[in-house]
Structure 1
Amino acid sequence: MTLDESRTFIPIRIAILSISDTRSIDDDRSGQTLVDRLTDAGHTLADRKMLRDERNQIADQLRAWCADRDIDVILTTGGTGLTGRDVTIEAHRDVYEKEIDAFGTVFTMVSMQKIGTSAVQSRATGGVANGTYLFALPGSTGACKDAWDEILVKQLDYRHRPCNFVEILPRLDEHQRRK
């Protein structure tokens, strides 16, 4: 895994959705962590919202952003646990056309190095819908840092070799185009 400096960096447009029944945008440290990291990397914050743990509302927001041609990637934080109110993963799966199975696996591997076997309680997922990438991250600031620093910063950088999500972004919705 290398960074190919001969390739030009391509900034992408990322929306952040935080899910919480108890926090507001003003005290949303995890969402702010993602905003800081994506802008520091040279990407554009396309939108930012906060919703309560309501599956239909989360799925509706994800669908609305997937329909917005000015959003390439959606990152959600929160609502990924095991309690009854944690419905973010299920909302994501309501929207996905394809799931990126290895994202959850790699996230678990990264988490194991940081929090040991407690990683089994951290659900994370990734997928694609309507030409947009979606990633659901746990609500802890540490988990957001780990997901960004160890996975997303590389996969969302066109210069990352041998491959990355950005280079196939234009082809995600090729099945919807006329032949």
Structure 2
Amino acid sequence: MLTCAVITVSNSRTSDNDDAGDLLSMHLTEAGHRVLRREIVFDDIYQLRRAFSECIADPQIDVVLSSGGTGFARHNAVPQAVGVLFDQEIVGFGELFRQLSYNEIGAAAIQSRCVAGIANDTLIFCLPGSPNACSLAWNHILRAQLDHRTRPCNFACRS
């Protein structure tokens, strides 16, 4: 079991209409993980760095999943805010996500700037804000990679 945080990046979502955050929390819980922290953060580079840094500094949190703020719009700040916090980027995550997205949405997948990395031994996966994109990432990448039984390797058992 991993202890997780779910961060929704949005200038308009509330706890009443955070569909992507609800979906990610549900997937984590159904997979046997624990959601310790849930937060909606304004899409501002410094508010994002605060929220992610708090998770990174918390020794209880193993994984952070975020939704939103990864698009190609001027106000989307997640890659710039979070990327500098990584000790090591998981480059293949964004590449694989865009490949899978291409099969569903075509060339629009190129506008996804989803990123992932490790900071202070905390795994961080920053996903687009749509529930469909979050489901795609969960079903085709994250579920298996956060499961210690996945072979030949997974992130749940990294050393």
TM-score band by shorter chain is over 0.9
Shift of residue 94 of structure 1? 2.0
1:12 equivalent in structure 2: 2
Match of 1:72 among 43, 56, 62: 62
Match of 1:84 among 55, 68, 74: 74
Structure 2: distance between partners of 1:91 and 1:73: 17
3-state DSSP class of the match of 1:25? coil
Structure 2: distance between partners of 1:26 and 1:70: 27
Structure 2: distance between partners of 1:19 and 1:139: 8
Query: Any gaps of 5 or more consecutive residues in structure 2?
Result: none
Query: Aligned AA for 1:33?
Result: L
1:150 equivalent in structure 2: 140
2:153 equivalent in structure 1: 163
Deviations 1:107-126 (A, max 9, x none): 01111111111111112110
Match of 1:112 among 102, 105, 112: 102
Structure 2: distance between partners of 1:99 and 1:64: 19
Runs of 4 or more consecutive aligned structure 1 residues displaced over 6 Å after TM superposition? none
3-state DSSP class of the match of 2:156? helix
3-state DSSP class of the match of 1:86? coil
3-state DSSP class of the match of 2:43? coil
Which of the pair has more CA radius of gyration? 1
TM-score (norm 2): 0.98
Q: Percent identity?
A: 39
Query: Any gaps of 5 or more consecutive residues in structure 1?
Result: 1-10, 172-179
TM-score (norm 1): 0.87
Q: Residues 59 and 94 of structure 1 are in contact (CA less than 8 Å); yes or no, is this contact kept in structure 2?
A: no
1:40 equivalent in structure 2: 30
1:176 equivalent in structure 2: none
Structure 2: distance between partners of 1:102 and 1:92: 17
Structure 2: distance between partners of 1:31 and 1:92: 18
Match of 1:30 among 20, 36, 57: 20
Structure 1: distance between partners of 2:136 and 2:126: 13
Query: Aligned AA for 1:85?
Result: H
Q: Residues 73 and 134 of structure 1 are in contact (CA less than 8 Å); yes or no, is this contact kept in structure 2?
A: yes
Structure 2: distance between partners of 1:46 and 1:57: 20
Match of 1:56 among 46, 54, 58: 46
Shift of residue 92 of structure 1? 1.1
Shift of residue 23 of structure 1? 1.1
Structure 1: distance between partners of 2:31 and 2:21: 15
Deviations 1:44-77 (A, max 9, x none): 1111000111111111111111111110000110
Structure 1: distance between partners of 2:54 and 2:131: 26
Query: Aligned AA for 1:95?
Result: L
